Amino acid sequence: MHLKTKNKKIKVAWICHFANEKITQLLKDVGVIRGNYIINEFATWINVLIPLFECGANFVELHIIAPYTGLKNDTSIIYKDVYYHFVNTGILKTGYKWSRRFFPWDYYSNFYSSKRKVKRLIESLNPDIIHLFGAENAHYSSWIYNFISKYPILLTVQGFHFLTNSKKSYINKKRTIVEKDLYEKINHINIRTTFMADIVRKINGKAKLYDFFLLFPLVDPKNLEIKIKRYDFIYYGRIVKTKGIEDTLNAFSKILIKNPNLLLGIVGGGGKEYIEYLKNLSKKLGINENIEFLGYFSSLKKAHEIVSTGKILILPTYNDIIPGTIIEAMLMKIPVIAYKSGGIPDLNKNEEVIKLAEPGNIDQLAEYMDLLINNNELSCNLALKGYNEIQRIVNNENVFHNFLKCYKDVILDFVQD
């Protein structure tokens, strides 16, 4: 690590994973993607954070180190003054995602190959600070082990895999071990809810916490091409049981008894078998004619256009921080119904801006759905309160300065220690 004077740039190395259309095109242009291998856009918070550091190039030299399956070889590119370093992961040099399903070489080898490559890369970059986004994804978070006590490190909490993991596979067990261990070993941690803070403090009581939100996609309702509100309710999230999709269907079936003309739109991706199970469940509940499975949209703009045609968002997730889809809905001035779980109650800290049912209480969920769909004044008032509150909490203008201040503080602590 080389220390900077007041007038020089801070060299920051992010370790994270993400994908977007522009990066995929750049990788295709340099000819390193195998065939037509494409990764859909994900980790939108990373994608919207990056442009801030393009604009902030006078203060920060940003290097992003990320895994990327389907590459012919490890690749570095520069775009708008940001340095990208993509590391091929998977079995040996194939890099194909399917290889992990049949033979998770990286997990069995304790991520030996990618750890070595990233160690050499970090040593050549010699950054002032390393910023790890998420401890829960062991295939890249494990890279940080080589740098603990050697570099200042900031860990941003993305979620807690060990709280939501229900599958007892080798990979999930390994992820949990690595995740908890990193929370014990890293002492500078960025959180954004009291729920996050409580979980982190239980694991590492001496950790120094930095409380501020990440950047989220800016959504201006005026820019969305909304013709009509087609859906009375919209579900927007991954289609998995823990996100509350089955509870959504069961609650929806209850309010259809009084109003059989309501329509529910479901936006999100999920396993084919599980979606087929949900369609069969809808038939059993007698609501299949009132539901549309709209699928997953790789374009965030397209997803927002579809979600904005819903009158009310419902996402009764069982264990989440604050889902980005809830924040996006609030920015679209859509009233929200969710469960009182994870970090979500923090949104109601000052006043009620979203309706929160007790986890697993289908009757209460249905009650709130019925209440909002039949009371337009209440629904609009809640939507406006939610919009104003999320604008206050997620102040995008301050995010870059929050990170810069945080980086300087972590570096100073490291030097003093």
| Closest CA relative to residue 107, chosen from 47, 170, 46, 158 | 170
Tell me: pLDDT of 341 over 70. yes
Label residue 98 by pLDDT band (50, 70, 90): very low
Specify the pLDDT at position 273.
94
Read off the DSSP letter of residue 71: B
The arithmetic mean of pLDDT across residues 200-224, rounded, is: 78
The Cα–Cα gap between 79 and 69 comes to: 20
Range in 27-36, 134-143, 345-354 with the lowest mean pLDDT: 27-36
The Cα–Cα gap between 158 and 369 comes to: 29
Tell me: pLDDT of 209 over 60. yes
Range in 27-36, 70-79, 206-215 with the lowest mean pLDDT: 27-36
Q: Give helix 362-373 / helix 376-393 axis angle, nearest 10°.
A: 110
Task: Give the pLDDT confidence of 146-172 residue by residue, as tens digits.
Answer: 999 999 999 999 888 888 765 677 888
Tell me: pLDDT of 101 over 90. no
Backbone angles phi, psi at 205, to 5 degrees: -70, -20
SS3 per-residue string spanning 330-365:
HHCCCCEEEECCCCHHHHHCCCCCCEEECCCCHHHH
Q: How many CB atoms lie within 10 A of CB 358?
A: 11
Range in 100-109, 234-243, 263-272, 285-294 with the lowest mean pLDDT: 100-109
Strand partners, 85: 65, 76
Specify the pLDDT at position 312.
97
Specify the pLDDT at position 160.
85
Tell me: pLDDT of 384 over 80. yes
The arithmetic mean of pLDDT across residues 316-322, rounded, is: 86
Widest pairwise Cα distance in the chain: 68
147 within 8 A of 125, measured Cβ to Cβ:
no
Instruction: Provide the pairing of β-strand 336-339 with 208-211.
Output: unpaired
Range in 3-7, 206-210, 342-346 with the lowest mean pLDDT: 3-7
List of long-range contacts for 38-42, beta carbons under 8 Å, 24+ apart = 38/70, 39/68, 39/69, 39/70, 40/296, 40/298, 41/298, 41/299, 41/300, 42/17, 42/18
The Cα–Cα gap between 27 and 86 comes to: 9
Specify the pLDDT at position 4.
47
Label residue 383 by pLDDT band (50, 70, 90): very high
Tell me: pLDDT of 218 over 80. no
Specify the pLDDT at position 5.
42
The Cα–Cα gap between 64 and 14 comes to: 5
Report the percent of the chain where pLDDT is more than 90.
Answer: 56
The Cα–Cα gap between 338 and 46 comes to: 25
Write the DSSP string, 135-195.
SS-HHHHGGGGGGBTTB-EEEE----HHHH-----HHHHHHHHHHHHHHHH--EEEE-SHH
Specify the pLDDT at position 24.
83
Tell me: pLDDT of 289 over 90. yes
The Cα–Cα gap between 355 and 344 comes to: 10
Report the percent of the chain where pLDDT is more than 70.
Answer: 88
| Closest CA relative to residue 386, chosen from 355, 343, 364 | 355
Burial label for 227, CB within 10 Å (0-12, 13-18, 19+), is exposed
DSSP count for the chain of H helices, then E strands: 16, 14
Task: Give the pLDDT confidence of 110-130 residue by residue, as tens digits.
Answer: 888 889 999 999 999 999 999
Range in 93-102, 330-339, 351-360, 367-376 with the lowest mean pLDDT: 93-102
Distance of CA 311 to the CA centre of its chain: 24
Range in 62-66, 213-217, 335-339 with the lowest mean pLDDT: 213-217
pTM (predicted TM-score): 0.80
| Closest CA relative to residue 242, chosen from 176, 159, 139, 183 | 159
The Cα–Cα gap between 226 and 294 comes to: 17
Specify the pLDDT at position 261.
95
The Cα–Cα gap between 164 and 241 comes to: 11
Q: Which domains does the chain have, with CATH numbers?
A: 10-215+396-416 (3.40.50.2000), 221-393 (3.40.50.2000)
Query: Quick one: the chain helix, strand, coil %, rounded to 5?
Result: 45, 20, 35
